[in-house]
Amino acid sequence: WDDRDNSFFPSSGRCYEGSYTTYQKMIGSDYTFSRWKADCRDYYPIGKSQVIALQRYLSIVTGDAPFQNLSTFGGKEILRGYPEGYYREKNMLAVQMDYRVTPLLWKLGFAAFVSVGEVAARVDRFSLANVKYSVGFGVRYLLIEKEKLSLRFDWAWGKGTSGFYITINEAF
């Protein structure tokens, strides 16, 4: 489901995506496992130049998945501030919120964000005591005004770690 007003820099609407992927030896895989994913994003405009963006993300892996196919967070999109894949396990749950300001001065915009997430071997093992967090801020440079496509510079801090990211497009 996607009714966002823009896919590069949404300022209203929502995008909900779910998927199921399975790997089975009987259809040629070396492994037997499955992954369920849900990615729910909502965008709330505040006036003409500000947006609150909210993302909820869940990944559940069943079976014997190889290391590279486990659920992870970190990097430039989910829980910025942690190295990509630093936390890795079968199941992952994350919630992120961005406060975004569209270009105010020439082509420069601003963002501030906070994220929380957890990985666990089993869904019933998710624990508030083990939740990881990250906070940060960013500067946006509007590359293509008509498309609202931006170059993103984000600084983020997690528990005992930090990261700096230069990418195109918003994290979500």
| CA geometry: angle 80, 135, 46, nearest 5 deg | 100
Mean pLDDT of 61-90: 96
Across 56-60, 145-149, 156-160, least confident range: 145-149
Q: How far apart are CA 84 and CA 107, in angstroms?
A: 29
Query: Average pLDDT, stretch 75-84?
Result: 96
Residue 25 has pLDDT above 90, yes or no: yes
Q: What percent of the chain has pLDDT over 70?
A: 100
Q: What is residue 83's predicted lDDT score, i.e. its pLDDT?
A: 96
